Amino acid sequence: MRTPKKISFSLTTQFKTKLLTWANQFEEVIWLDSNNYEFSSNEYEAILAVEAFTALKTDYVNAFDKLQEYQHTTKDWIFGYLTYDLKNNVEALSSKNDDGLAFPDLYFFQPKKIFLLKAEEVEMHYLGMVDDEMEEDWQAILNTSVTSKAETENNTSSIESRLTKAEYMERVGKMLSHIHRGDIYEANFCQEFYAEDFPLQPLQTYFDLNSISEPPFAAFLKLEEFHLLSASPERYLKKTGNKVISQPIKGTAKRLEDVSEDEVLKESLKTDPKEISENVMIVDLVRNDLSKTAKKGSVQVEELCKLYSFKQVHQLISTVSSQIKEGISPVEVIKTTFPMGSMTGAPKISAMKIIEELEVTKRGLYSGCVGYFSPQGDFDFNVIIRSILYNSANKYLSFSVGSAITAKSDPEKEYEECLTKAAAMHRVLEKFK
């Protein structure tokens, strides 16, 4: 049982910083922040979960069955992640590429302490065994100092790309050959930037990354040595009652400082046939995925290729919804739509096989998702893009970027799109040079 306590409190950026700084003392931390984006349709502006009471950590073998049992047994809040490589649980696929991060394929935990943040209220939900710590924790949070920053270590490790530009162009050319042969219509091709022996300060780097981007699905995750610093603008899947929504992103243009030039670029994106076709293909894939667990006739496209602007980029986002059939478990809804179409391609299985063949790094948590299940079986998960991944045990740092390759793709422009998406990560890591 959880003991809830509501505190009237005006939510500020400084308080969020204090709360997350205080939370960083624990081995298990997940922080989800909407950065006050209304379109994210979140009940809470931010959520914090810390300190595991129970946990599930596993590889891909029977991972969804294990998650379903864990979610059903706890009947409580559980927070965690699913990596892209759980595709191997869903289909007869494999992941054989290099993996410097070595994250478990799936990791969820039942937190002892949860904070649900609204604009004018903080809800603390503690398990009974620790509910006597509420007042002490609240005072400690209010007294947390956020002014000082730790000194940056001297770093001799530079960030490198797994692929040279020439290698990238060659592999995109092979992807286009598959498309022209009719093997696939579209596929998301990704490349990794990485560094070894990198002395990252994960929490401060998350603060820096979030301040640059302020996305609607930001996340900070620390589970033992495994860290995620995410500035994701994309929702994978949200369940509220019997309704499910997915919000795939396809179509990107960088922001320009000149307002009039930025407006021209924005209008160009809204009518770009290549970007629109990317989005529409993935919307069709999402509709098909959701139909597997939907009541007949309930799958709807609520928004198609609507333009949303973020600090770094403009994006085309669609919203697809469905009503779940009776007797379908929450985990089944995720399993039948995973991995998300925006990070795979169409047809999905063929695209994933070709992705594995042409990419050189195991995606792991990149292209996966982070989020939570509520005690009622509702859930909300983002898509792990625009994110830094870090293993503090071996000091391996990684971030990946990708773009959708279609018949109309220009490899040079796809490469430039990847660099645009990587810019914020490069920027926050420059201090470690």
CA distance 265 to 123: 42
**pLDDT confidence of 430, banded at 50, 70, 90?**
confident
In this predicted structure, the answer to whether residue 150 has a pLDDT above a threshold of 90 is: no
Identify whether the C-beta of residue 44 lies closer than 8 Å to the C-beta of residue 116: yes
Structure tokens of 354? 């070709």
Structure tokens of 9? 């409190």
Identify whether the C-beta of residue 79 lies closer than 8 Å to the C-beta of residue 30: yes
Half-sphere exposure of 383 (CA within 13 A, CB side): 25
**Class level of CATH domain 2-432:** alpha beta
User: Locate tokens 């369940």: which residue?
Assistant: 239
- Condensed to tens digits (0 to 9), the pLDDT of residues 170-197 reads 999 999 999 999 999 999 999 999 999 9
What is the average pLDDT across 388-398? 98
- Higher pLDDT: 9 or 78? It is 78
What is the average pLDDT across 385-408? 96
Amino acid 146: pLDDT: 86
| Cis peptide bond prior to 339, omega within 30° of 0 | yes
Amino acid 1: pLDDT: 79
Sign of the dihedral through C-alpha 130, 131, 135, 140: positive
Amino acid 66: pLDDT: 98
In this predicted structure, the answer to whether residue 147 has a pLDDT above a threshold of 80 is: no
Buried/exposed 358-387: b ≥16 CB within 10 Å, e otherwise: bbebbbbbbbbbbbbbeeeebbbbbbbbbb
- Condensed to tens digits (0 to 9), the pLDDT of residues 248-304 reads 999 988 899 999 999 999 999 999 998 999 999 999 999 999 999 999 999 999 999
| Cis peptide bond prior to 233, omega within 30° of 0 | no
Residue-by-residue DSSP string for 285-336: HHHHHHHTTBPTT--EEEEEEEEEE-SSEEEEEEEEEEEBPTT--HHHHHHT
CA distance 293 to 295: 7
**pLDDT confidence of 385, banded at 50, 70, 90?**
very high
CA distance 259 to 92: 49
In this predicted structure, the answer to whether residue 40 has a pLDDT above a threshold of 80 is: no
Q: Give me the chain's average pLDDT, please.
A: 94
In this predicted structure, the answer to whether residue 156 has a pLDDT above a threshold of 80 is: no
CA distance 397 to 426: 12
- Higher pLDDT: 228 or 213? It is 228
Structure tokens of 319? 């919203």
Domain limits of the chain? Answer: 2-432
- Output the CA–CA distances (angstroms, integers) from residue 286 to 75, 188, 245, 291, 339, in the order listed: 28, 15, 10, 8, 11
pTM across the whole model: 0.95
Q: 207, 299, 304, 179: which is closest to 245 by C-alpha?
A: 299
Amino acid 39: pLDDT: 65
Q: Virtual CA dihedral for 358, 364, 370, 375, nearest 10 degrees?
A: 120
Q: 414, 401, 413, 416: which is closest to 361 by C-alpha?
A: 401
**pLDDT confidence of 59, banded at 50, 70, 90?**
very high
Amino acid 352: pLDDT: 97
Q: 204, 206, 209, 225: which is closest to 153 by C-alpha?
A: 204
